[in-house]
Amino acid sequence: MFEPRRIKHCRVCGSPTDYRVPADDNRDRAICGTCGEIHYENPINVVGTVPFWDDQVLLCRRNIEPRRGLWTLPAGFLELGESTADGARRETDEEAGARIELGALFTVLNVVRAGQVHFFYLARLLDTRFAPGPETIEAQLFREHEIPWDEIAFRTVRETLQRYFEDRRAGRFGVHAGDIA
């Protein structure tokens, strides 16, 4: 079960908060004892892409924790002021230095225990020149049989890759949603 990050101080005035159910609500919220501000804790959004070139997908070897040294799709946290599509483009550029044409939303995966929702878009690579940023050791194209499945960093990435190759074999791509337990 997901445990929320407990908010101890009000973001408005800095006073201590207390958890209780506000009027017209049904769950505990952090409420400022001084100014009455109610603070909501919501899931973090992770956005990324499945960059492809012919029958290959682009993976990045992580240069940061968690899971340093393992492979992932280019993805990261959505920033304020971004759409999920804009964030996915930015993360692909930051992590892989890849030029893409963003396609359709492909997977939406809930990671309830971590308080996250992961969004992956299909992305056609415009070329095979990559310039990985500091969070990436290397960026490399893989055919399905070449993917280092035992070295995939996250279950959402594994699920997205499996769905991608299943849809590719079927000759049609859909939108996939699910929960990662």
Q: Is the pLDDT of residue 121 over 90?
A: yes
DSSP labels, the chain? --------B-TTT--BEEEEPPTT-SS-EEEETTT--EE---PEEEEEEEEEETTEEEEEEE-SSSSTTSEE-SEEEPPTT--HHHHHHHHHHHHH---EEEEEEEEEEEEGGGTEEEEEEEEEES-S-----TTEEEEEEEEGGGS-GGGBS-HHHHHHHHHHHHHHHHT----EEEE--
pTM: 0.91
Residues 127-155 have a mean pLDDT of: 98
Domain boundaries, the chain: 1-41, 44-179
| Residue 167 pLDDT exceeds 60 | yes
**Architecture of the domain made up of 44-179:** Alpha-Beta Complex (3.90)
CATH class of 1-41: mainly beta
What is the pLDDT averaged over residues 155-169? Answer: 98
Mean pLDDT score, 23-30: 94
Band (181; pLDDT cuts 50, 70, 90): confident
Mean pLDDT for 67-95 is 98
What is the pLDDT averaged over residues 112-131? 97
Q: Is the pLDDT of residue 1 over 90?
A: no
Residue 6 has pLDDT above 90, yes or no: no
pLDDT tens for each residue of 45-66 = 999 999 999 999 999 999 999 9
pLDDT at 86: 98
